[in-house]
């Protein structure tokens, strides 16, 4: 048994979780593919184990999240994603175009690194921040949207190479 797998077995046992080939595979795949969705993780595990039901994937992820062995992130308008980086102080940066997600360490303080103005009596133990923007690749591949009028203005006033506007090529 590999050292990483032995560590995962021990971690599951320490948290009172039954050790199964499926759970071990899911833990490993989450570590290898951070920020993947349940369906993406299931596809990878299925390609390795041969057969695992969608329900078994979701059940295993649920147990691992409940035991704080993996983290579930739920960005607005996106399926839940999973990562093995737990117990530290970090947030996420997501590209609006390609949906790539990156870890971003918190700039200040310890968990939680944000303090509510009025915590309404709660004992706050976590703050989750998701930064949204466009990654450098998407910025380069797809310049900001222009209206057709702006695009035509650009074509007629610039010395730039030809561009395509709404399917028509303009020189």
**Residue boundaries of the structural domains of the chain:** 1-86, 89-133, 145-171
Residue in 84, 93, 88 with CA at minimum distance from that of residue 111: 88
pLDDT value at 58 more than 50: yes
DSSP bridge partners of 82: 36, 72
- Indicate yes or no: pTM above 0.85: no
Q: What is the pLDDT of residue 166?
A: 35
Rg (CA), the chain: 22
CATH number of 1-86: 1.10.10.10
pLDDT value at 146 more than 70: no
Q: What is the pLDDT of residue 112?
A: 58
What topology does CATH give the domain 89-133?
Answer: Dna Ligase; domain 1 (3.30.1490)
Altogether, the residues listed in the chain come to a count of 171
Please name the residues in contact with 56: beta carbons below 8 A apart, sequence gap of 6 or more: 22
Edge-to-edge order in the sheet of strand 101-105: 101-105, 90-95, 130-133
Q: Alpha-carbon distance 142 to 167, whole Å?
A: 15
pLDDT value at 91 more than 60: yes
The residue with tokens 């390795």 is 48
Residue in 83, 71, 79 with CA at minimum distance from that of residue 29: 83
Average pLDDT of the chain to the nearest whole number: 80
Percent of all residues in the chain with a pLDDT value above 70, rounded to a whole number: 77
DSSP bridge partners of 103: 92
Q: 46-49 contacts: CB < 8 A, separation 24 or more?
A: 49/21, 49/22, 49/25
The residue with tokens 């997501």 is 94
Average pLDDT over residues 38-67: 94
Q: What is the pLDDT of residue 1?
A: 55
**Residue 132, SS3 per DSSP:** strand
């Amino acid at each position: 048994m590999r050292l990483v797998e032995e560590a995962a077995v021990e971690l599951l046992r320490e948290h009172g979780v039954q050790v199964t080939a499926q759970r071990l595979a899911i833990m490993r795949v989450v570590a290898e593919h951070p920020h993947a969705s349940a369906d993406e993780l299931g596809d990878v595990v299925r390609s390795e184990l041969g057969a695992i039901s969608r329900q078994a994937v979701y059940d295993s992820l649920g147990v691992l999240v409940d035991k704080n062995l993996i983290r579930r992130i739920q960005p607005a308008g996106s399926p839940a994603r999973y990562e093995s980086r737990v117990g530290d102080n970090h947030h996420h940066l997501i590209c609006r175009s390609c949906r790539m997600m990156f870890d971003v360490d918190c700039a200040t303080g310890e968990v939680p690194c944000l303090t509510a103005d009025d915590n309404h009596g709660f004992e706050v133990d976590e703050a989750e921040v998701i930064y949204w923007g466009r990654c450098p690749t998407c910025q380069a591949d797809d310049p900001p949207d222009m209206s057709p009028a702006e695009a035509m203005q650009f074509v007629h006033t610039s010395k730039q190479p030809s561009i395509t506007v709404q399917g028509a090529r303009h020189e």
